[in-house]
Structure 1
Amino acid sequence: MTAPGGAARHRPARRPTIKDIARRAGVSESAVSFALNDRPGVSDDTRARVRRVAEELGWQANSAARALSGERAGALGLVLARPARTLGVESFFLQLVSGIQEVLAARKIALLFQVVEDLDTECALYRRWWAERRVDGVLVVDPRTDDPRPELLAALGLPAVAIGGPAGPAPSDQEPDTAPPPLLPTVWADDAKAMARVLDHLHGLGHRRIVHVAGLPGLAHTARRIRSLRTEAALRGLDERQVRSVTTDYSDAEGAEATRRILDDPRPPTAIIYDNDVMAVAGASVAAERGIPVPAALSIVAWDDSALCRVTHPRLTALVRDTPGFGRLAAHELLTVLDGGPPRTVQGELPHLEARESTGPCE
């Protein structure tokens, strides 16, 4: 039958069922169930035939049905509560997800990824995933200084690993290696030592007026970096009039606007540290617009290295770390928890500073 005008009607392909496999393989539906779920009750030859037919038909287990029968859903969740406009230009999360996906693909586990507007929506999504048994566990990113997610996930009994640092209800001046145990298993990066490396480099070049263009306020790692900058500056005899931080949403637009305000100061800094690569590139563009030579009159450092830092002229000094490796580490930790292993706090690789042409002596 054809539609008006002679065009054929296209119906969605019907998903194959256990009944289809049983008919094709010439066995009962119960035999198919036994074979596909690795249960006793069928011969090795029947099991192999059923699996071959299932593969030919493109059959996949229904995750909801598997969950209701007590099996795993075969998926992990990752929710990102950030302004969507900031994601298209920042490479960090793409690299992180690539590392996560590499580990999950080897175990044939899906990654359910969703971007939401705020933390309340993220928490509501966890409740829904738990009720529907959509995921076996979640990877929690962007830990907050005041974070409701660990207690919620613990109450739901939904396994989770925090990425980036401890996620908990109260901020602390202690770093993860000396603070009380976090509420969630955690994979963390030592932002304090990374900031110390940046300050060592700039201070050694003679810079005494330094501004840190930070990311979103309220994020635990933003607070750690701001606190670490203040501590490291004090150790070098610098006060808050000389070294300070301003917060942004990580976007190139806010990075550029923050740079304009900073350079309008009566005593502008001789060096600026940016919390990501896109803000650093935007800041370098603002300096170029104003005829401020980099690094002769202004040194620039990016927190995370990327191709942007390496192709910008001058090339940007940056903190270099294995972000995909960080994602792989987090995925391994969550799978370990799901497999019955103990919850742990694991430190990722400490970034090293790659000095390039955007930093130089303070004249």
Structure 2
Amino acid sequence: MRRTPARRPTIKDIARRAGVSESAVSFALNGRPGVSAATRDRVRRVAEQLGWQPSTAARALSGEGSATVGLVLARPARTLGVESFFLQLVSGVQEALAARRLGLLFQVVEDTDAECALYRRWWAEHRVDGLLVVDPRDGDPRPALLAELGLPAVLIGAPGHGTAPHGGALSTLWADDTGAMASIVDHLHTLGHRRIVHIAGLPGLAHTRRRIESLRAEAGRRGLPEVTSLTTDYSDAQGAEATRRVLAADPPPTAIVYDNDVMAVAGLAVAAERGVSVPGELSLIAWDDSVLCRNTHPAVTALVRDTAAFGRRAAEHLVALLDGGPALDVRDPLPRLAPRGSTGPAPGP
């Protein structure tokens, strides 16, 4: 007599046996905060009793899955070699994936169309079990595509307002750009700055738009009429060129906010080249901190956050989805502004 194969236990089975929610099971099994130590121990005991195994590992052993996660960057490749943010992000991602014996498939493409085409190919070839998606855009086609393909994903950098956009297993993890920009403007306003320029990143990115809109809103709230934003490709070359352009204005800004560390350091070099004293005549702030910011003279005031931990949390949320957990919308802790030698009181009129 042929026996029916035993059904593999799921997170739902563990939740029912342990008397907790499915999200609590996901948190407990993935070592994430949000449940008590007692609940974590109970869930793990039940999982062991039921013989539960992470679905990604089981799928890989059975040949049904790849035990691999995909990450695609649709940016000019020349801008990535000197920017520390993505290196730190990927290091955190890799740390979390390695703990679960998952691989990372990484590729750089020219634009979003190429990224979507790559997702379709990976899906057709069973190359990845899930995706980490970065640089959300206005009118972004990727969430709908991922729902169509049925690929679990974490969208990094866009608030989902508590729902999975377009349905499907899509979690969101995002930083509060609005709050971060408010802390920057508050710092500069307290120092007496009234002419502020924001040298932003790529146009079309959702976080670029949020930062620009937040700068305008904060400036309007404080009655600062001379505030502008310029977009770039994040490179040192375009950061330097934008700095030269704004410093040639009459009158020039007394403070410049850069969307990454590389452009801020390039801007500092341009100020030295033009004989502009920092911070005596010009204050500079970088959006993301790095060793570059801390080792220039003067050291650059910057927003500080643990980018590797940010990447680690993103990967953990994706693993939770692969294990059958619910889609979540998660806001990361607000970055902290670290005042350093590049910011000081605004010069006189």
Instruction: With the length of structure 2 as denominator, give the TM-score of the two structures.
Output: 0.80
Distance across 1 between alignment mates of 2:153 and 2:328: 11
Q: CA 1:149–1:68 in 2, change beyond 3 Å: closer, same or farther?
A: farther
Match of 2:106 among 99, 109, 113: 113
**Superposition deviation, residue 69 in structure 1:** 5.6
Report if aligned partners of 1:67, 1:133 keep a CA contact under 8 Å in 2. Answer: no
Matches within 5 A, 1:17-166: 71-166=64-159
Partner of 1:266: 250
**Superposition deviation, residue 164 in structure 1:** 1.1
Ranges of 4+ aligned residues in structure 1 off by more than 4 Å? 66-70
Distance across 2 between alignment mates of 1:312 and 1:152: 44
Report if aligned partners of 1:143, 1:221 keep a CA contact under 8 Å in 2. Answer: yes
Distance across 2 between alignment mates of 1:361 and 1:310: 20
Once the two structures are aligned, what percentage of the paired residues are identical?
Answer: 71
Partner of 2:51: none
Distance across 1 between alignment mates of 2:145 and 2:122: 13
Query: Which sections of structure 1, spanning at least 5 residues, go unmatched?
Result: 1-62, 167-175
Q: Which residue identity lines up with residue 133 of structure 1 in the other structure?
A: H
Matches within 5 A, 1:290-301: 290-301=274-285
Partner SS state of residue 185, structure 1:
strand
1:225 is aligned to 2:211 = yes
Partner of 2:289: 305
Q: Which residue identity lines up with residue 143 of structure 1 in the other structure?
A: P
Match of 1:257 among 235, 238, 241: 241
Report if aligned partners of 2:163, 2:327 keep a CA contact under 8 Å in 1. Answer: no
Deviations 1:4-42 (A, max 9, x none): xxxxxxxxxxxxxxxxxxxxxxxxxxxxxxxxxxxxxxx
Distance across 1 between alignment mates of 2:335 and 2:151: 31
Distance across 1 between alignment mates of 2:188 and 2:165: 33
Q: CA 1:322–1:302 in 2, change beyond 3 Å: closer, same or farther?
A: same
Distance across 1 between alignment mates of 2:214 and 2:287: 14
1:204 is aligned to 2:187 = no
Partner of 1:192: 178
Distance across 2 between alignment mates of 1:289 and 1:360: 20
Match of 2:306 among 316, 322, 341: 322
Report if aligned partners of 1:303, 1:318 keep a CA contact under 8 Å in 2. Answer: yes
Distance across 1 between alignment mates of 2:192 and 2:102: 51
Partner of 1:284: 268
Distance across 1 between alignment mates of 2:62 and 2:95: 28
RMSD: 1.6
Report if aligned partners of 2:72, 2:107 keep a CA contact under 8 Å in 1. Answer: yes
Query: Which sections of structure 2, spanning at least 5 residues, go unmatched?
Result: 1-55
Partner of 2:38: none
Distance across 1 between alignment mates of 2:336 and 2:156: 19
Distance across 2 between alignment mates of 1:274 and 1:85: 18
Partner of 1:275: 259
Deviations 1:125-168 (A, max 9, x none): 000000000000000000001210000110011111101114xx
**Superposition deviation, residue 182 in structure 1:** 3.7
Partner of 1:29: none
Partner of 2:227: 243
1:341 is aligned to 2:334 = no
Report if aligned partners of 2:137, 2:206 keep a CA contact under 8 Å in 1. Answer: yes
Instruction: With the length of structure 1 as denominator, give the TM-score of the two structures.
Output: 0.77
Report if aligned partners of 1:322, 1:349 keep a CA contact under 8 Å in 2. Answer: no
Report if aligned partners of 2:164, 2:328 keep a CA contact under 8 Å in 1. Answer: no
> Higher relative contact order at CA 8 Å, sep ≥6: structure 1 or structure 2?
2
**Superposition deviation, residue 119 in structure 1:** 0.8
